């Protein structure tokens, strides 16, 4: 995403914001906790049911911390590929002792485990601010989650794909299988996925939709078939499930936005210029402009989610710690004009003294004569008035700055700040004068440091014969 540094630069954090003040629930030993990823983190709490001897499963597809992290990384890779604002956030991995009765639990035990955990949150390390993912030793099952509103639990066994955790979180965020209701059209409530059946081959998906096998399809038709065959929410292609449709993206954003008070580490603020309805910053009702979000005071330590496309640059500076992420594709912010007007083409000035001095300055510039440029600009400034004079003063300040004469640059920026008639120019010049003074002072100290150190060394030597 492109941002204009004058508006987005000051005070804005475009990086990872660590999770502060995270409370780990008692009753289990903490094994791992990861910092919140960039974007809108969906909190996941992993728990291993230990056997009577206090051990995790000895073998399996998800019996180590590293394998959990691999699931998180794969899920975030998929989300990132489709420019989703959401990211999986592993807030902890804990060992749950004292409940070995669930060590070999199956996915059919999901509701019983949920009821027991809610009744004894300490003993089960149950959290009300994350999806609780309980891992068992059973190798005869895969995983099972729950749909909203009880979307706070997932049971994971030891026979899973690299994409299983992301798939199950998809269900928690209200995504159905692509083959829901036996493959009838719209069974997953997404019109942009073709009818599907869990036992179909890719050619069967193709034939059902288009009457031809996959190899005979157009590129556009192949893409539609692949959207089902390799869909994260399908039963096809195992480890290679990686695609998400536009409708699926919208469904999970809608659910995450609805659940943000308990599920998300950082709350998103959505902006979509095409929104014609009401605005409150949620996904269903995004702000139309970044400035609207700022005016509403909605960006205090939040994640600004810009829908794919072009956005108007805000006139206010974002001064809070706010991540900025695109959604569904590249999001750009239009560059904007500086908040003042100055004349150009001063070589055509009606004032002959100004005109001639500027022409001489241009000649010196072509000859790389820095001193000649500044000398003639100073001459032009003496004869100029109004905004022509402001334009020349700004050029002088910038030439001194570029020549690393920071004290002189500060002088000319201050002249503009004191005498210009445009508030935008005055404000910007005042800021730049401060920067120039700070840089001049920094370089002065840097220059004096070796001399001070040499004097200190000399004093030490004289005091220690």
Other Cβ atoms closer than 10 A to 421:
10
State the Cα–Cα distance between residues 234 and 405, nearest whole angstrom.
64
Do 155 and 251 lie in one domain? The reply is: yes
Evaluate whether residue 250 is within a structural domain: yes
Evaluate whether residue 403 is within a structural domain: yes
Do 375 and 278 lie in one domain? The reply is: no
Q: Which of 282, 299, 334 is the last residue of a domain?
A: 334
Evaluate whether residue 407 is within a structural domain: yes
Helix (H/G/I), strand (E/B), else coil: 77 = helix
Do 67 and 144 lie in one domain? The reply is: yes
pLDDT in tens, the chain (465 residues): 223 322 333 222 222 222 222 221 223 333 444 566 778 999 999 999 999 999 999 999 999 999 999 999 999 999 999 989 999 999 999 999 999 999 999 999 999 999 999 999 999 999 999 999 999 999 999 999 999 999 999 999 999 999 999 999 999 999 999 998 744 445 799 999 999 999 999 999 999 999 999 999 999 999 999 999 999 999 998 889 999 999 999 999 999 999 999 999 888 999 999 998 899 999 999 999 988 888 887 776 688 899 998 888 787 666 555 788 899 888 888 765 567 788 888 999 999 999 999 999 999 998 989 999 999 999 999 999 999 999 999 999 999 998 999 999 999 999 999 999 998 899 889 989 999 999 999 888 888 777 666 677 766 666 654
Which domain, by its residues, includes 418?
346-447
Do 84 and 166 lie in one domain? The reply is: yes
**CA max distance for the chain:** 99
Do 372 and 424 lie in one domain? The reply is: yes
Do 96 and 44 lie in one domain? The reply is: yes
The radius of gyration computed from the CA coordinates of the chain, to the nearest angstrom, equals 31
**Tokens at residue 95, please?**
């060992």
Do 364 and 271 lie in one domain? The reply is: no
Do 280 and 382 lie in one domain? The reply is: no
Q: What is the pTM of this model?
A: 0.67
Q: Which secondary structure element, helix H or strand E, spans residue 214, and what is its range?
A: none
State the Cα–Cα distance between residues 257 and 282, nearest whole angstrom.
6
Count how many domains the chain has: 3
Q: At CB < 8 A and 24+ separation, what contacts does 252-255 make?
A: 252/84, 252/86, 252/170, 252/173, 252/174, 252/175, 253/84, 253/85, 253/86, 253/283, 253/327, 254/174, 254/283, 254/284, 255/148, 255/151, 255/172, 255/173, 255/174
Do 108 and 256 lie in one domain? The reply is: yes
Residue 46: closest CA among 114, 164, 126, 140: 126
> What strands lie across the sheet with 86-96, from one edge to the other?
29-32, 86-96, 40-49, 131-135, 153-156, 143-145
Evaluate whether residue 11 is within a structural domain: no
Half-sphere exposure of 163 (CA within 13 A, CB side): 21
305, with CB counted inside 10 A (0-12, 13-18, 19+), is buried
Helix (H/G/I), strand (E/B), else coil: 24 = coil
Q: Where are the extended beta strands (E) located within 68-162?
A: 86-96, 131-135, 143-145, 153-156
Evaluate whether residue 142 is within a structural domain: yes
Do 327 and 427 lie in one domain? The reply is: no
CATH code for position 355: 1.25.40
Do 366 and 420 lie in one domain? The reply is: yes
């Amino acid at each position: 995403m492109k941002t204009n540094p004058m508006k987005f630069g000051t005070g804005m954090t475009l990086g990872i914001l660590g999770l502060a003040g995270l409370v780990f629930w008692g009753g289990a030993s903490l094994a791992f906790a990861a910092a919140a990823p960039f974007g809108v983190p969906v909190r996941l709490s992993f728990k291993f049911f230990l056997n009577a001897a206090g051990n995790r499963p000895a073998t399996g597809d998800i019996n180590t911390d590293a394998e959990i992290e691999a699931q998180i990384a794969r899920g975030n890779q998929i989300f990132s590929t489709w420019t989703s604002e959401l990211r999986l956030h592993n807030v902890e991995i804990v060992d749950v002792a004292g409940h070995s009765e669930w060590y070999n639990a199956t996915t059919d035990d999901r509701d019983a485990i949920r009821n027991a955990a809610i009744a004894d949150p300490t003993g089960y390390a149950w959290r009300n601010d994350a999806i609780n993912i309980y891992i068992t030793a059973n190798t005869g099952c895969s995983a099972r989650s729950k749909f909203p509103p009880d979307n706070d639990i997932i049971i994971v066994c030891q026979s899973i794909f690299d994409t299983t955790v992301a798939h199950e979180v998809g269900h928690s965020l209200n995504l159905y299988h692509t083959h829901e209701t036996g493959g009838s059209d719209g069974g997953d409530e997404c019109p942009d996925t073709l009818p599907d059946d869990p036992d179909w081959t890719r050619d069967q998906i193709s034939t059902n939709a288009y009457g031809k096998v996959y190899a005979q399809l157009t590129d556009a038709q192949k893409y539609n078939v692949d959207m089902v065959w390799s869909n994260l929410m399908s039963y096809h292609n195992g480890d290679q499930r990686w695609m998400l449709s536009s409708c699926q993206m919208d469904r999970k954003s809608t659910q995450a936005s609805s659940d943000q008070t308990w599920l998300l580490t950082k709350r998103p603020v959505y902006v979509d210029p095409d929104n014609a309805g009401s605005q409150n910053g949620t996904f269903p009702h995004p702000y139309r402009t970044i400035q609207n979000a700022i005016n509403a005071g909605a960006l205090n330590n939040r994640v600004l989610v810009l829908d794919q496309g072009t956005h108007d640059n805000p006139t206010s500076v974002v001064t809070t710690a706010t991540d900025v992420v695109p959604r569904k594709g590249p999001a750009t912010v239009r560059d904007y004009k500086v908040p003042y007007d100055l004349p150009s083409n001063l070589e055509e000035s009606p004032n002959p003294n100004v005109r001639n001095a500027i022409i001489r300055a241009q000649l010196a510039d072509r000859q790389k004569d820095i001193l000649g440029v500044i000398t003639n600009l100073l001459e032009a400034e003496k004869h100029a008035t109004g905004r022509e004079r402001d334009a020349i003063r700004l050029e002088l300040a910038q030439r001194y700055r570029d020549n690393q004469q920071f004290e002189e640059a500060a002088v000319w920026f201050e002249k503009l700040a004191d005498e210009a008639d445009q508030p935008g120019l005055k404000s910007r010049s005042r800021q730049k004068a401060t920067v120039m003074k700070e840089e001049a002072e920094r370089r002065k100290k840097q220059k004096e440091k070796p001399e001070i150190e040499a004097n200190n060394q000399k004093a030490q030597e004289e005091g220690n014969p």
